[in-house]
Amino acid sequence: MEAFQLLTRGGHFNKSRFQKDVQLFQKTEPRRSAPSVDVSESAELPTELDFFKYAEGGAGPSSKRKASASNEAAKKKRRTEEQAGTDDEDADEEEDVPEDPQQPLQPKHRVTTKGNNAPVPIETFDDLRERWQPPAHLLVNLAKNQFSQPTAIQSHCTSIIMEGRDLAAISPTGTGKTLAYLVPIITSLQNPASGNEDAGKGARAVIVAPTRELAQQIYNECLKLTEGRKWRIVLFSKATANTLSDKLARDKVDIIIATPLRLVACLQSGNLELTNVRHLVLDEADRLLDTEFHDQLEEIIAACSHSKVQKAVFSATLPAGAEQMALGMMRDPIRIVVGLKDTPLPLISQSLTYVADEQSKLPSLLTYLARPYNPPVLIFTSSQPRAASLAEELVLNSISHVDCLHAGLSMKGREDAISRMRRGESWVMVTTDVMARGMDFKGVREVINYDFPTSVQNYIHRIGRTGRAGREGKAVTYFTNEDAPSLKPIANVLLQSGSSVPEWIVKLPKPSKMKRKQMGKVKRGDTVNNARKVGRNDAVKKRDMIVGSKRRAAKATAPKGDTVATGTGDEEK
């Protein structure tokens, strides 16, 4: 009877009487995968992270206070620098450059200029009209696209390019660098004093970008600004390269927008001359000046042989080596930096999330996506197979509107994915670094670095896909035990741009040169879910067994002397 009562109506269990037994049951279950820890919120070193033996100092309550103090100090330092216009990294270089009293105050970002006789920047697009008489349709198109005021980089670059000066421009992601060169180029090509007389003798401006997607985006911006007027703007592809084999057709071209490979292929085939080029722009210059593109860039630069060719490089990041290379190919250049070099805008709230190991990333991401988030989210992985694998996993886990874009897709596949993203049909876009630079999707509110970035620059460009054109954004970066040696430089970027970092990360020693070189070289599998890989391996084994047993059966029944086909399962498929 007592047992029946217990089973049907339940019984009272005296917890205080059986306290010891209760404690036994209160022990937490071991977890299948390590939990993720958003370390930006917590100043203490989580116990799971004790493997960072080199994290100096304890993580008691006092260190918590210190952590917030150091974060606060970093924020304060940044505020002071922004107000006073000092830049640690650039301080030495700037010493002999007096502040130009004629420069208008930039409302949001300080601007540092280096070089002889930097021209006075424009304050409004009306200034552009008064000083250089741009084509009327350009001003109409600016207004039509709600570009009412130039951004800081546009104010400065417009007058620098209009005055015929070579230029290295560094400005944070999403601050309008594309228009900073397109507006003055369109103005100057229309202007009799600066290039109009050479019209009809071949391309007068060449804009080079590292990816096809970015070249396409620049082309679209160019079309917006030139609408209503017959400009011949060419986005280089195999098809246009064929059209340009006709000299009459190519002489009419005004502006070429291309990736280095396509351009060089056309130059080498003898179907293109760049001798009439007045403006050569390298967008994402540090990427273009990388070893991968180096030879092609040299060829393009050599082909732009006009005595008055003006060179300009643009990027949100320009490491010292790339900057030296860029300035080395210029005449009396002006270097301009908006904000702090290699620092994202504080509009992007950044955080680091500890995920222990590769296998814990997927559960962490699924937990993240199970909570309310702001679509579209851009998720960066380190390789094409990983991007495809992660997208597949998300779909299998019922995440809605998942999309994938990487360079391994067909051209049509890539274009379609970009269009879906622009139409707002993709809520979760899984991608690779092909999307890390330059791509402008205004609506991207969150970026997740599923795989740790390969360098500080890579980090800045990836997270710069959000927080564009004055909007706020959020960036989350997963890190595993293996990423530990690369954590410090990224944490410094967070601090520099006003996001908080716990004390134990701040205290990590600066990685050695060798460790820095190894950044981004962590080996990761092609699939993001090993369990599924095991499933696949089993399937392959099963298939091979069936093939083997069929072969044996065929051999047994075959009349003596007949040969039986042998081979691997793949061949039989």
Question: Given CA atoms 222, 228, 229, 230 in this order, what sign does their dihedral have?
Answer: positive
Answer for which of 119, 134, 174, 210 binds ligand ATP (CB under 6 A) is 174
Residue 322's contacts (CB-CB under 8 Å, 6 or more residues apart) are 285, 286, 289, 290, 315
Report residue 461 as tokens.
Answer: 């460009």
Answer for which of 151, 259, 296, 477 binds ligand ATP (CB under 6 A) is 151
Best CA proximity match to 472, nearest among 433, 442, 494, 449: 442
Q: Mask: binding to ligand ATP, 459-498, rule CB under 6 A, as x and -?
A: -----x---xx-----------------------------
Give the whole-angstrom CA distance, residue 400 versus residue 148: 37
Rule CB under 6 A: say whether 143 interacts with ligand ATP.
no
Closest approach, Cβ 213 to ligand ATP, in A, equals 12
CA atoms within 13 A on the CB side of 191: 20
Q: Which stretch binds ligand ATP (CB under 6 A): 142-150, 409-417, 484-492, 511-519?
A: 142-150
Is residue 173 classed as helix, strand or coil in its secondary structure? Answer: coil
CA atoms within 13 A on the CB side of 132: 30
Is residue 116 classed as helix, strand or coil in its secondary structure? Answer: coil
Give the whole-angstrom CA distance, residue 466 versus residue 329: 33
Answer for which of 173, 360, 458, 480 binds ligand ATP (CB under 6 A) is 173
Rule CB under 6 A: say whether 176 interacts with ligand ATP.
yes
Question: In which residue are the tokens 């217990």 written?
Answer: 6
Question: In which residue are the tokens 């059986």 written?
Answer: 18
Alpha-carbon torsion, ordered 50, 51, 54, 60, to 10 deg: 0
Closest approach, Cβ 342 to ligand ATP, in A, equals 12
Rule CB under 6 A: say whether 253 interacts with ligand ATP.
no
Give the whole-angstrom CA distance, residue 532 versus residue 466: 32
Closest approach, Cβ 129 to ligand ATP, in A, equals 15
Closest approach, Cβ 178 to ligand ATP, in A, equals 3
Closest approach, Cβ 164 to ligand ATP, in A, equals 23
Report residue 470 as tokens.
Answer: 């004055």
Report residue 209 as tokens.
Answer: 């970008």
Answer for which of 150, 184, 195, 453 binds ligand ATP (CB under 6 A) is 150
In the chain, DSSP finds a helix count (H) and a strand count (E) of 24, 15
Q: Which stretch binds ligand ATP (CB under 6 A): 50-58, 357-365, 367-375, 437-445?
A: 437-445
Count the residues of the shown chain that bind ligand ATP, applying the rule CB under 6 A.
Answer: 20
Rule CB under 6 A: say whether 158 interacts with ligand ATP.
no
Q: Which stretch binds ligand ATP (CB under 6 A): 16-24, 438-446, 477-485, 548-556?
A: 438-446
Q: Which is nearer to ligand ATP, 260 or 473 (CB)?
A: 473
The amino acid at residue 488 is K
Closest approach, Cβ 110 to ligand ATP, in A, equals 17
Rule CB under 6 A: say whether 438 interacts with ligand ATP.
yes
Is residue 286 classed as helix, strand or coil in its secondary structure? Answer: helix
Closest approach, Cβ 341 to ligand ATP, in A, equals 13
Closest approach, Cβ 433 to ligand ATP, in A, equals 13
Residue 50's contacts (CB-CB under 8 Å, 6 or more residues apart) are none
Q: Which of residues 341-370 bind ligand ATP (CB under 6 A)?
A: none
Answer for which of 40, 175, 187, 457 binds ligand ATP (CB under 6 A) is 175
**DSSP-assigned letter for residue 52:** -
The footprint of ligand ATP (CB under 6 A) covers 147, 149-151, 154, 171, 173-179, 316, 438, 440, 442, 464, 468-469
